[in-house]
A and B are shown apart, each in its own frame.
Chain A
Amino acid sequence: MAMELIGSRVLAPYFGNSIFVWGSLISVFLAALSSGYFIGGLISDKYPRKSILGCIIIISGIMVSVLPFIYPSLNSWIFDYDFGYRMNPLIASMALFFLPGAGMGMVSPFVIKLSAKRLETIGNLSGRIYAISTLGSITGTLGSAFFMIPTWGTKFNLNLLGIILILTGIIVGIPKKVKS
């Protein structure tokens, strides 16, 4: 959600603030999450390891933190090529936000898989994970709209989000010492 709000700041200078820009952003993030949930589920069954989950989060983080270096030239290119007033922001959103969004979408099913120990409590567990993930989205929305965007620049905010993801990935991914 934080990415979505900051995404509007990435697109507006090139494609405006029209309803098409917002529609593009929201639908691309939903498509990314949907694909991420699906693929994340598949991978987690095949490789149910924390290190893989950590890598996915780290890769998403890297993709987010390099956005500031990519989006100015990518947006200019799309603007100059001109796929149309409606298609331009949709294509830009796809190119910039689909992959990192999908990576973040993979996390929830992965966490369910890794945490699930007994089938009887799977409802309880997945409910808890959805709740935590949505609380995270609320924090991201409030944090970006009320604090990050008014305080820092767009490029810095993207770097910051990327670094937070990378650190999270490292914490999740490194093997913990087994207590004896």
Chain B
Amino acid sequence: MIFPFSLFAREKVLFEKESLYHHIVVIEQDGVRYMKFGNNILQSAVYTANPLELQLEYTKYLPLSMLFNRQANRILMIGLGGGAFPRYMREYFPNMQIDVVEIDPMVAEAAKKYFYFKEDSRCKLSILDGRVFIKRSENKYDIIVLDAYNSDSIPFHLTTKEFLTEIKEDLSPGGVVAANLWSSDYDLYRAIIKTYGEVFPYLYKFRVWGKNNIVLVAGEEKFDKKEIIHRAGLLQEALKFDYDFVFAASQLDMNEVELTGVPVLTDDYAPVDKLQHMGK
């Protein structure tokens, strides 16, 4: 006899708290821990048997930013979540100095307790709004990764031309910014691409296989697709990533995005909510 609840028997709630910003839930199922905001907005995931392995597909595309700045040894990550990316980078790049900024102290608490995130001399965490951190920072970063856009809500002040200009000022020469975006909210996606294009001359869009995520890398240098894939092969060989890094690199989409009819987002006018739900 099959009990209907046996379907859910292996799902265990480890943590559930109302923070200043979110309803945070950590559940474990079939050897994977998930961090969610609310009941269905997935933030992060980790295999308990192998915390290092990148579980969410898009996180496998964030290290592609290394291909655009191969000497990078200082990274800033805006938006911690479960901290999968900093954990991975710390392990595979022994000389990497990683700063992370997260607005929600309880997300940081959950990341440390359930997602194997550790703070130490090579990985420093600040509890601050990302924009305030960028404005205050006197460091120069080789790569800045933006993972603060939620699929359900976008902090407008982290999308604007002024913000991206402040980011650019915090990049070292040859530095790039990488952002996790959604192509499913197409008008918002186009407006964000248009805004990045105002600040950075070259945009590289990686379509995350089987998902709606786009990992965008923006910088000042021009590369062709062949060169990126070639570099991915070299890095894969040198570091022995545990997934097909070259395949991720090959998802680079060189097609132009149609930019008419959407605004450049500015501090004065950034209608992110309207753009996100256009036509819905």
Contacts of A18 in B (CB 8 A): 20, 103, 129, 132
Q: Does B135 contact A (CB under 8 A)?
A: yes
Of the candidates B129, B162, B271, the one whose C-beta lies within 8 Å of that of A16 is B129
Q: Does A151 contact B (CB under 8 A)?
A: yes
**Chain B interface size, under 10 / 10 to 19 / 20 to 34 / 35 or more:** 20 to 34
**Contact between chains at B274 and A150 (CB < 8 Å):** yes
Contacts of B21 in A (CB 8 A): 19
Contacts of A16 in B (CB 8 A): 103, 128-132, 157
Please name the residue on chain A nearest to B270 by beta carbon.
A9
Please name the residue on chain A nearest to B129 by beta carbon.
A16
Of the candidates A13, A150, A151, A156, the one whose C-beta lies within 8 Å of that of B160 is A13
**If the complex has contacts A16-B128, A18-B103, are A152 and B269 also in contact, measured as CB distance less than 8 A?**
yes
Q: In the complex, A85→B20 CA distance in Å?
A: 16
Q: Does A50 contact B (CB under 8 A)?
A: no
Contacts of B160 in A (CB 8 A): 13
**If the complex has contacts A19-B20, A85-B132, are A12 and B157 also in contact, measured as CB distance less than 8 A?**
yes
Please name the residue on chain B nearest to A15 by beta carbon.
B132
Contacts of A79 in B (CB 8 A): 135
Contacts of B20 in A (CB 8 A): 18-19
**Chain A interface size, under 10 / 10 to 19 / 20 to 34 / 35 or more:** 10 to 19
For residue B163, give the distance in angstroms from its CB to the closest CB of chain A: 7
Contacts of A9 in B (CB 8 A): 156, 267
Q: Does B268 contact A (CB under 8 A)?
A: yes
- Report which residue of A18, A149, A152 has the largest number of chain B beta carbons within 10 angstroms of its beta carbon: A18
Q: Does B201 contact A (CB under 8 A)?
A: no
**Contact between chains at A151 and B271 (CB < 8 Å):** yes
For residue B153, give the distance in angstroms from its CB to the closest CB of chain A: 10
**Contact between chains at B268 and A154 (CB < 8 Å):** yes
Contact with B along A72-84 (1 / 0, CB 8 A): 0000000100000
Q: In the complex, A79→B266 CA distance in Å?
A: 19
Q: In the complex, A14→B132 CA distance in Å?
A: 7
Please name the residue on chain B nearest to A151 by beta carbon.
B271
* Residues of chain B in range 132-173 having any CB-CB distance to chain A below 8 Å: 132, 135, 155-157, 160, 162-163
For residue A6, give the distance in angstroms from its CB to the closest CB of chain B: 11
Contacts of A155 in B (CB 8 A): 268
Q: Does A153 contact B (CB under 8 A)?
A: yes
Q: Does B273 contact A (CB under 8 A)?
A: yes
**Contact between chains at B163 and A85 (CB < 8 Å):** no
Of the candidates A13, A19, A85, A152, the one whose C-beta lies within 8 Å of that of B162 is A13
* Residues of chain B in range 29-43 having any CB-CB distance to chain A below 8 Å: none
Contacts of B274 in A (CB 8 A): 150
Contacts of B155 in A (CB 8 A): 12, 17
* Residues of chain A in range 117-155 having any CB-CB distance to chain B below 8 Å: 149-155
Q: In the complex, A152→B274 CA distance in Å?
A: 12
A interface residues with partner B (beta carbon < 8 Å): 9, 12-19, 79, 85, 149-156
